[in-house]
């Protein structure tokens, strides 16, 4: 089976690093890699290919810094050309970005099979561009690889049993990546020493969702919250390029340890060494759990609902009082020995077995 994988944004590089490794090991599977260029900075793209041994893309587009419609449209046009040239048996897409939707749509219109990794997730908030991308991608996918039972349940509720598709709960490929790269991160990353950080004595924060960065009031509250947290313990804040731009536009600056985005090996050390994670990232909510850290999510909802129901994650408004209350609540707890929510690191293998049997 000839697979064509479409990636373009940071979390997709991390997911594809795990799955591409499994594809290379599975007899009968061949992979062509397409990078749309949605994320293009050295520290948002190249670093992951280098550190994580992701194969060099066979096709490299440079489609970025456009509005949602323009970006998705350009990708659709360019991906279609590649698909007509490569004629894969199946197109593999990840997550919920414009690259995901454009890849799935281009493939389906050419009657090619589509496999969606991280299918079935829902925030039930259609104002999020990611939610639109996921719903549409799921609906036209042939293989829906769900990371959680909640994701399978969401598809059941939407009537997917009536559609000609295959739904499989395989676990989360991000756990595969976290487990695989932990030893490498321990050997190669010196970020805690470089920043002079003591294990367990700093907060790790990331913010990049448009609902937070593009709402001046919320962004100002987030900065105020980070500043309040910093009065208690150092706050390490690797800043996404969009967030950096919005902070500058609003004339805001957090008096915390701001960094440029870091590579995955450094990120693992920061998560595993932190006291707690404060984020609006999807991936980071789970990685906090993988490394047994409590997580405060500055959003009104989450797709990773099992983390909230099991008490590992709390949702909070960005208001400093609420943030401090939640942080103090978690500070009184010790993280239980738990790791079973996301399949235990065998998701990529499961995906490849299913695809190779189907091919
Ligand atoms: N990440 C990273 N460096 C950073 C910030 C995040 O390597 O400076 C990783 C993080 O550990 C996770 C992924 O990027 O694996 C999450 O990506 P992001 O938060 O951009 O997207 P989301 O998961 O919200 O879709």
Whether the pLDDT of residue 98 is over 90: the answer is yes
Q: Calculate ∠ Cα 315-233-312, nearest 5°.
A: 30
Q: What's the pLDDT score for residue 13?
A: 98
Q: Is the CB of 274 under 6 A from ligand 1?
A: no
Count the helix, strand and coil residues of the chain and give each as a percent rounded to the nearest 5: 50, 15, 35
Whether the pLDDT of residue 212 is over 90: the answer is yes
Q: What's the pLDDT score for residue 199?
A: 97
Tokens of 108: 């389906």
Q: What's the pLDDT score for residue 185?
A: 98
Distance CA 186, CA 221 (A): 34
Whether the pLDDT of residue 54 is over 90: the answer is yes
Whether the pLDDT of residue 85 is over 90: the answer is yes
| Mean of pLDDT values over 301-322 | 98
Q: What's the pLDDT score for residue 339?
A: 81
Whether the pLDDT of residue 209 is over 90: the answer is yes
Q: Is the CB of 243 under 6 A from ligand 1?
A: no
Which residue of 267, 274, 303 sits with most ligand 1 atoms within 8 Å of its CB, as the best mutation to test the pocket?
Answer: 267
Q: Is the CB of 208 under 6 A from ligand 1?
A: yes
| Mean of pLDDT values over 65-80 | 97
Q: Is the CB of 51 under 6 A from ligand 1?
A: no
User: Would 2-172+343-358 and 180-331 be classified into the same CATH topology?
Assistant: yes
Report CA(341)–ligand 1 centroid distance (Å): 20
Distance CA 34, CA 177 (A): 20
Nearest-atom number in ligand 1 for the CA of 260 is 8
| Active-site pick, 35, 39, 208, 240 | 208
Q: Is the CB of 290 under 6 A from ligand 1?
A: no
Q: Is the CB of 14 under 6 A from ligand 1?
A: yes
User: Is domain 2-172+343-358 classified as CATH 3.40.50.2000?
Assistant: yes
Span 254-305, pLDDT tens digits: 999 999 999 999 999 999 999 999 999 999 999 999 999 999 999 999 999 9
List of E strands, the chain: 2-7, 30-35, 59-60, 90-94, 113-117, 143-146, 166-169, 203-206, 235-238, 257-259, 276-279, 295-297, 313-315
Q: What's the pLDDT score for residue 269?
A: 98
Q: What's the pLDDT score for residue 337?
A: 87
Q: Is the CB of 281 under 6 A from ligand 1?
A: yes
DSSP conformational letter for 70: H
Answer yes or no: 111 catalytic. no
Sheet with 276-279, strands from edge to edge, namely 257-259, 235-238, 203-206, 276-279, 295-297, 313-315
Report CA(50)–ligand 1 centroid distance (Å): 16
Q: What's the pLDDT score for residue 359?
A: 82
| Mean of pLDDT values over 204-232 | 97
Least confident of 99-108, 216-225, 233-242, 331-340: 331-340
Span 118-172, pLDDT tens digits: 999 999 999 999 999 999 999 999 999 999 999 999 999 999 999 999 999 999 9
Domains of the chain: which residue ranges? 2-172+343-358, 180-331
Whether the pLDDT of residue 338 is over 90: the answer is no
Four-way CATH pick for 180-331: 3.40.50.10540, 2.40.160.50, 3.40.50.2000, 3.40.630.30: 3.40.50.2000
Q: Is the CB of 264 under 6 A from ligand 1?
A: yes
Report CA(11)–ligand 1 centroid distance (Å): 6
Q: Is 164 left (phi over 0), alpha (psi -120 to 50) or beta?
A: beta
Span 177-199, pLDDT tens digits: 999 999 999 999 999 999 999 99
Q: Give the torsion through C-alpha atoms of 303, 306, 310, 311, to 10 deg.
A: -10
Nearest-atom number in ligand 1 for the CA of 283 is 23
Q: What's the pLDDT score for residue 31?
A: 98
Report CA(16)–ligand 1 centroid distance (Å): 13
Which residue of 7, 8, 11, 207 sits with most ligand 1 atoms within 8 Å of its CB, as the best mutation to test the pocket?
Answer: 11
Distance CA 330, CA 318 (A): 16
| Mean of pLDDT values over 342-359 | 96
**Nearest Cα to Cα of residue 71 among 97, 34, 108, 107:** 97
DSSP per-residue letters across 111-126: T-EEEEETTT---S-T
Provide the percentage of residues in the chain whose pLDDT is more than 90: 99
């Amino acid at each position: 089976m000839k697979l064509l994988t479409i990636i373009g944004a940071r979390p997709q590089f991390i997911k594809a690093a795990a799955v591409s490794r499994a594809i290379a090991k599975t007899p009968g599977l061949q992979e062509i890699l397409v990078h749309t260029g949605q994320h293009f900075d050295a520290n948002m793209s190249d670093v992951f290919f280098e550190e994580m041994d992701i194969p060099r893309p066979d096709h490299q587009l440079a489609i970025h810094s456009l509005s949602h419609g323009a970006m998705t449209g350009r990708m659709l046009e360019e991906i279609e050309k590649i698909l007509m040239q490569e004629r894969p048996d199946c197109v593999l897409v990840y997550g919920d970005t414009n690259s995901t939707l454009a890849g799935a749509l281009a493939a389906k219109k050419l009657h090619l099979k589509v496999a969606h990794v991280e299918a079935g997730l829902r925030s039930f908030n259609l104002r999020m561009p990611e939610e639109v991308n996921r719903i549409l991608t799921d609906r036209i996918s042939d293989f829906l690889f769900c990371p959680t039972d909640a994701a399978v349940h969401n598809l059941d509720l939407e009537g997917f049993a009536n559609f000609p598709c295959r739904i499989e709960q395989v676990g989360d490929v991000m756990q595969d990546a976290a487990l695989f790269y932990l030893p490498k991160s321990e050997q190669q990353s010196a970020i805690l020493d470089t920043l002079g950080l003591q294990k367990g004595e700093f907060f790790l924060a990331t913010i990049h969702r448009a609902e937070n960065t593009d709402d001046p009031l919320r962004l100002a509250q987030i900065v105020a919250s980070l500043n309040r947290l910093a009065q208690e313990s150092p706050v390490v804040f690797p800043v996404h390029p969009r967030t950096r731009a919005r902070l500058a536009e609003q004339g805001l600056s957090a008096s915390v340890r701001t960094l440029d985005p870091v590579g995955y090996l450094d990120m693992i050390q920061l998560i595993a060494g932190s006291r707690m994670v404060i984020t609006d990232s999807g991936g980071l909510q789970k990685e906090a759990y993988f490394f047994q850290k409590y997580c405060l999510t500055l959003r009104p909802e989450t797709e990773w609902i099992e983390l909230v129901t099991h008490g590992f994650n709390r949702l909070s408004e960005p208001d400093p009082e609420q943030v401090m209350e939640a942080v103090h609540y978690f500070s009184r707890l010790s993280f239980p020995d738990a790791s079973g929510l996301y399949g235990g690191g065998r998701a990529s293998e499961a995906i490849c077995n299913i695809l190779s049997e189907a091919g």
